[in-house]
Amino acid sequence: MTLSLEYLVREPKVKLDKNPLLLLIHGYGSNEEDLFSFATELPDEYYIVSARAPYNMQYGSYAWYAINFDADQNKFSDNEQAKTSRDLIARFIVELTSNFPIDSNNITLIGFSQGAILSYAVALSHPEKVQKVVAMSGYVNPEIIEENYLKNSFSNLKIFTSHGTVDQVIPVEWGRKAKPFLENLGINITYKEYPIGHGVSPQNFHDFKNWLL
């Protein structure tokens, strides 16, 4: 079974006719093992799939899109690569629901950092494919959402977003903009902050798990 992305899967311990899916989307320079370490702690009825980003940075590191620096150390995201990854993830969701007994009406994206940025882009571009998003330590980049996304209906979309107040990689100010942006689209959003850097604290994990349930 060849799908668009490399992945790890944990089958549900409780088998239903169709099980819900948690799709884990790692950050820049990481790999599919990273968030998969959460799998044992997540609810038993879910298929848990952790996807590997398509761009190989060597030594087991992968990216959903390149981040380049200019002479003044300003960061630039490769938005074309990001859009390609957005479409790859959207296709991957369809492939998973075709190949596993997954409930296509109960799909959650869990993204960290660059994975969170992509999760927003996929959900806002394809709200018919995703019902819930957990976006940790990321931000909304409108430039990588499909152009006509404002015509979409977001009535079934729920988003949990979180950020560390001392995040040294993606400033908390960027993360905070998600709440008004998403509320403006009429999306049900829960926003939380934690006194940590660029990472997932035990409290953050506990909170999003409770939110899922």
CATH 3.40.50.1820 fits 7-212, yes or no: yes
State mean pLDDT over 99-118.
97
Residue 73: pLDDT above 70? no
Q: What pTM, to 2 d.p., does this model score? A: 0.95
Please state the domain extents for the chain: 7-212
The whole-number pLDDT of residue 72 equals: 73
Residue 201: pLDDT above 80? yes
State mean pLDDT over 186-196.
97
Q: DSSP letters along the chain, please?
A: ---SS-EEEE--SS--SSEEEEEEE--TTB-THHHHTTGGGS-TTSEEEEEPPSEEEETTEEESS-EEE-TT--EEE-HHHHHHHHHHHHHHHHHHHHHS-EEEEEEEEEEETHHHHHHHHHHHH-TTT-SEEEEES----GGGS-TTGGGS--TT-EEEEEEETT-SSS-HHHHHTHHHHHHHTT-EEEEEEES-SSS--HHHHHHHHHHH-
